Each structure stands twice: as C-alpha cells, then as structure tokens.
C-alpha cells in the first residue's frame, strides 16, 4: 500500500535479505530490496525512501559508498548499516560518516524492528511520514495514533476501509485503548469531516437527562424544560455522533436509538419526529454480546450498532508498540530533547498495563515532570502500586480503632483528582477505573469538581 513508510534494504546475502524483507513487511513497512550497492542506489534515486538499511561488506560498491552517496544526495535520509559480529570499528566508522544506527550480525527480528521503529520515530521522519500518509492516502490521518504492531496495523487497515462509508462502527476494547482517538480518525477520514464531531458519554449522564440530551426536547415537555433544546443528534447533523459507553444506555432508551439508526429519524421529548443526517460511531468497554445474553442490551440494537465491529487490542497484547508510544508521549508532553534508556523501555515493556495506553501516557507524563535529568532511566520509573504494593514508598497508615473503607475510597478519589488538577479522565486512569465509575463515585461522595 502506498501509504506505508518505505525502507530500502541493500544486502547481497540472499537469505538475510529475505529475512529482513519479510520481518519488516510483516511489521507494516513497504520494503524495497536490492542485491548490491549499484542497484541499491538506483532504486534509492527512483523511490527516495526515508530509510535505507545497507550491509557494509558487499562486492562492488561497499556500504560506506552507499552511505556517502545517500547522505550527499538526500542528507535527511536515515541510514542503518549492518556489520559482521566483532567489527565494531566498522560500525563506528559508519556512524562517523553519518549513519543513524547499526545492526551487528546476527540480530533478531525484534532488535531489527526496534531499531527501524526508532528511526521512524526520529525527529522529522515521523512528520514527513504523517505528511506523506495524508497526501497519499488522502483520507485517514493516523499521525496521532501510534502503532507498528500487526494488531494495530489491522485496525488501521479496517479504519481506512470503512472511514469513507456511512456504516455504523462499533469500537470495542478495554478502557484506555484509544477508542475515542479512532472514533475521531473515522470522522476526519469521512466525507463528513467538515461537519461536527459530537461525543456523548452515555454513562456520564443521569438517566432522566439522557433522553433529552440525545434527542432534544420542546419547551414545557417536562418541569425545567423552559425552552426548546437541541439534542446531540441534531447537533451532529451532517457530521458524526460518537456514542461513548453505549453499553450503559438504559434499556428503555434503546428502542429510540434503534429507530434513529434505522429510520434516521428522532423524536425530541414532547415533540414531533424529525429527520437527521448523522453517522453513528459507538464505543464500549463492556462485552456487549454478553450484555445481550444477560438481557441488558437489545439484540436488534446490538446488530444495528455492530455493522462493523473494530476491536482495539489491549496494550499487553501488543507490547512492541510500547517503545514507540513512550517516545510519542515524551514528545507530546514537552520532553522533545529527553532521551529514554533502553533499560527503561524494557521495564515498561514487561508491565501489564491494566489501564492500557492511557496508563502508559500518564506514567510518562509523571516521569517527565519528576525527572532529574534529560535522560529517563529505570530510576525514574515508580509504578503506582496500590497501598502496600511494591514500588510505593508510602505505607498505608490506618488508625488503630479502624477505618471505613468508604472513607478510604473517598480519600483516594480526592487525592487522584488533586494530583491530576481535577482532570477526571486522568484521575480515573490513575485509579484504574473507567471515567464513568469515577463520576459515579464523585457523585456518591459529594465530591465537587
Ligand atoms: N495508539 C495510540 N497512540 C497514541 N495515543 C494513544 C493511542 N491509544 C490511546 N492513546 C492515548 O491514550 C489516551 C486514552 O485514549 P482514548 O481516550 O481514546 O481511550 P478509550 O479507549 O476511549 O478509553 P475509555 O474506554 O476509558 O474511554 C488518550 O490520551 C489517547 O490520546
Ligand atoms: Mg473513551
């Protein structure tokens, strides 16, 4: 596909060349190959790939020659050289000539992918990629969504294919896996991109208000309805309505949503039906099929919503994305010049991430704020284990006479909000609970924003 980042491989050893080609293709790159330096440079001039991987020792033009020529003709190109085991001085020489990195034979697939991913994440290359992707694919902008794993590439593929259609998409996945991010990408990749994108969190709005929130109401239809009010469906007219946490939609409202989806027609509270032109993208971290079985969710609505189900994989199922995500968040949160130690990446890669990408993002943000130098190392990594958990210096100090669990919970909620400047999304991630659960707890304990 034209919008994949390209890599040119120049390697005379056929079996190694095939392994490289296969590994990188599998990781989602567009791979070009050449069997020697001369053919490699020809191909380089034709295709101008942003990354070249070349063996050093080859008959004819050597890897050094290739490196010099590439750097002369297109200095922004990154070159990774391959050297034989035990020839560090060759790698050093290549680095002096402007190589970005080197691989020493024999190397594993993971090492290869990591080095390549690092290169693509490096400075301008990524921006260039984003620009190319937009230009070539035209539609869906994935520049804010990071992922080289097979699983995420499959998500991107599916999103690309369905974005421009009018089909209802159901995004499934644990909390913090990027459902909202993908919903926005779907909208921006559709013909409705110029229209509004209206998110509604079905779990955050009390039942009594939800109907009017979604479908609007007319003046006088209930106490407090002092004037006509547009619902989210009307607001989203000509655009996309994002129904977040759709699994929490009360059963008695489900027929109304079904009708809106089927007939493109809504009925404001106390008013007459009207047509709306809305594309619906829904999301849930609940197992909706199970909810159907349990009788909490209407089967017909489920099938209406899940015309195209897109499953976002949990972070622990795609650990190879972690290094890229970490670097992405370091930059996103103002740490542009900050280095990240490989040891730290390894540590993070081994974590379980119940809060998924959001949890990783919060952790990176915290490490950046608390860092002692412009180099993040395992010393900066303090997992936020719960009371008594490893890695936490604070020991839970409970009074001898006992303490109510509810008060403890209330304190935890307040502390989480305080630490996150009242940001509910971040506070929820901090507590490893969905945002609606946090909001529910805040209401329960009378905690104000
Ligand atoms: N693949 C990704 N690349 C970059 N950032 C990501 C990615 N996935 C998630 N994020 C970031 O993680 C955070 C959580 O993502 P998002 O809000 O889309 O998750 P969600 O699935 O909607 O979670 P929830 O179910 O809790 O609402 C956001 O800040 C988002 O930008
Ligand atoms: Mg969300």
Contact at 8 Å (CB) between 54 and 40? yes
Q: Which residues surround ligand 2, an ion (CB under 5 A)?
A: 180
Q: Which ligand is nearest to the CA of 181?
A: 1
Which of 143, 156, 180 has most ligand 1 atoms within 8 Å of its beta carbon, as the pocket-test mutant? 180
* Alpha helices for 264-404 (secondary structure H): 288-293, 299-305, 322-332, 342-350, 356-370
Tell me the CA–centroid distance for residue 424 and ligand 2, in Å.
12
Closest CA to 355 of 259, 448, 420: 420
Q: Which residue, by CA, sits nearest to atom 15 of ligand 1?
A: 178
User: What pLDDT was estimated at residue 399?
Assistant: 65
Q: Residues with Cβ < 8 Å from 134, sequence gap 6 or more? A: 141, 143
Residue nearest atom 8 in ligand 1 by C-alpha distance: 178
CA of 448 to the centre of ligand 2 (A): 22
> How many angstroms separate the CA atoms of 176 and 192, rounded?
26
Q: Which atom of ligand 1 is nearest to the CA of 425?
A: 26
Q: What is the pLDDT of residue 409?
A: 86
For atom 31 of ligand 1, the residue with the nearest CA is 181
CB 276 within 8 A of CB 317: no
* E strand segments, 192-260: 197-201, 240-244
Which atom of ligand 1 lies nearest, measured to the CA of 328? Answer: 4
Residues 6+ apart with CB under 8 A from 344: 326, 376, 377, 378, 380, 381
C-alpha of residue 210 to centroid of ligand 1, in Å: 24
Mapped onto helix, strand or coil, the DSSP state of residue 313 is coil
Q: Which two tokens stand for residue 15?
A: 């079996």
Q: How many of the other CB atoms lie within 10 Å of CB of 154?
A: 15
Residue 52: per-residue pLDDT: 96
| CA–CA gap between residue 246 and residue 305 (Å, rounded) | 9
Closest ligand 1 atom to residue 429 Cα is 26
Ligand 1: residue whose CA is nearest its atom 9: 178
How far does the centroid of ligand 2 lie from the alpha carbon of residue 429, in Å? 11
Ligand 1 pocket, Cβ-based, cut-off 6 angstroms: 145-147, 173, 175-181, 285, 325, 328, 357-358, 361, 434-435
Structure tokens at 209: 């208000």
Point out the ligand 1 atom lying closest to the alpha carbon of residue 428.
26
The single residue listed with the structure tokens 């922004």 is 76
**Closest residue (by CA) to atom 23 of ligand 1?**
176
User: Which residues of the chain fall short of a pLDDT of 50?
Assistant: 1-2, 123, 133-138, 385-395
User: What is the pLDDT at residue 383?
Assistant: 61
Q: Which residues pair with 101 in a beta bridge?
A: 80
> What is the whole-number distance in angstroms between the Cα of residue 46 and the centre of ligand 2?
43
Distance 376 CA to ligand 1 centre (A): 23
Question: Please, are residues 246 and 264 in contact by the beta-carbon 8 Å criterion?
Answer: no
Residue 397 confidence (pLDDT): 57
């Amino acid at each position: 596909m034209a919008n994949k980042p390209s890599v040119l491989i120049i390697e005379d050893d056929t079996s190694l060349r095939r392994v490289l080609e296969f590994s990188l293709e599998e990781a989602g790159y567009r791979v070009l190959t050449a069997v020697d330096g001369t053919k490699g440079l020809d191909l380089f001039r034709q295709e101008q790939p942003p990354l070249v991987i070349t063996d050093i020792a080859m008959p004819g033009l050597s890897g050094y020659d290739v490196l010099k020529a590439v750097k002369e003709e297109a200095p922004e190109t990154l070159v990774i050289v391959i050297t034989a085991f035990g020839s560090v001085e060759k790698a050093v020489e290549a680095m002096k000539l402007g190589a970005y990195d080197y691989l020493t034979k024999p190397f594993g697939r993971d090492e290869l992918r990591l080095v390549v991913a690092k290169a693509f994440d490096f400075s301008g290359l990524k921006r260039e990629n984003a620009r190319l992707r937009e230009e070539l694919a035209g539609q869906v902008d994935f520049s804010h969504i990071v992922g080289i794993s097979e699983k995420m590439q499959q998500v991107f593929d599916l999103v690309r294919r369905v974005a421009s259609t009018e089909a209802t998409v159901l995004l499934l996945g644990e909390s913090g896996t990027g459902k909202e991010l993908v919903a926005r990408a779907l909208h921006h990749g559709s013909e409705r991109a110029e229209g509004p994108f209206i998110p509604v969190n079905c779990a955050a709005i009390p039942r009594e208000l939800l109907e009017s929130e979604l479908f609007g109401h007319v003046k006088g239809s209930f106490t407090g309805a002092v004037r006509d009010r547009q619902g989210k469906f009307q607001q989203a007219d000509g655009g996309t309505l994002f129904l977040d946490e759709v699994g929490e939609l009360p059963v008695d409202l489900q027929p109304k949503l079904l009708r809106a989806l089927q007939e493109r027609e809504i009925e404001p509270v106390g008013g007459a039906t009207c047509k709306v032109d809305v594309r619906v993208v829904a999301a849930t971290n609940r197992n909706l099929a199970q909810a159907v079985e349990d009788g909490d969710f209407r089967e017909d609505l489920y099938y209406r919503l899940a015309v195209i189900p897109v499953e976002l994989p949990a972070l622990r199922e795609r650990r190879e994305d972690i290094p890229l995500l970490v670097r992405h968040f370091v930059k996103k949160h103002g740490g542009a010049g900050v280095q990240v130690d490989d040891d730290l990446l390894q540590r993070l890669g081994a974590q379980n991430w119940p809060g998924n990408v959001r949890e990783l993002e919060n952790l990176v943000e915290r490490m950046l704020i608390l860092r002692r130098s412009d180099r993040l190392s395992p010393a900066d990594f303090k997992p936020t284990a719960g009371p008594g958990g490893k890695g936490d210096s604070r020991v839970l100090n409970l009074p001898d006479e006992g303490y109510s669990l509810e008060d403890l919970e209330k304190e935890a909620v307040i502390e989480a909000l305080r630490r996150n400047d009242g940001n509910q999304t971040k506070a929820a991630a901090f507590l490893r609970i969905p945002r609606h659960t946090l909001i529910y707890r805040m209401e329960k304990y009378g905690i104000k924003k």
